[in-house]
Amino acid sequence: MATDTDTDTDAFDEISLTNQVVLLGVAELDRRGETPVQTHDLRRVCETQLEGVDVGVVGTLTEADVMRSLYRLEDEGFVEEIDTERTSPTGKGRPAYALDIAPELVTEGVADELLESTD
C-alpha cells in the first residue's frame, strides 16, 4: 500500500468525477473488508452511492466505465490489481482491485458533491 505522503488530496483534482466515484466505491468496500473487488460488484456499489448524491455529470456507470476507471486509477497509484484465482464462466481470469492508499485520503480528496447526500 502506498504511504499517505505518496498521494495527497491535490492528486484527486487530476481525476474525473467518474474515476472519483469508482475510487470512492473501492474505499467503501475496503472499509467493509470486501476487497479485492471485481468490476461487476464494484459497479453495483458505485450505482448505490450515486443514488444519494446530486451529480448529473457522471450519469449511469457501465461495467466498461468502471473497468476503464480502474485502469486509470491503477496508473495513478490509487488502486492495485490483485491476482486472484477467480475466473468468469467462460474460463477467463477476472481482475480484482484493492485500494492502494488509505481510505481516509479518498474521503478527504474526492469532490465534495460526491459525499453530500440529497436525502
DSSP assignment string, 65-106: HHHHHHHHHHHTTSEEEE--S-B-TTS-B--EEEESS-HHHH
- Cβ atoms of 80 and 74 within 8 Å: the answer is yes
Q: Which domains does the chain have, with CATH numbers?
A: 9-111 (1.10.10.10)
**38-64, pLDDT tens digit by residue?**
999 999 998 888 876 766 656 678 899
**97-118, pLDDT tens digit by residue?**
999 999 999 999 998 888 875 4
**Residue 87, all three cell numbers:** 475466473
pLDDT of residue 71: 95
- Report how far residue 106's alpha carbon sits from residue 93's, in angstroms, rounded to the nearest whole number: 28
pTM of the model: 0.81
pLDDT of residue 53: 72
Is 88's pLDDT higher than 60? no
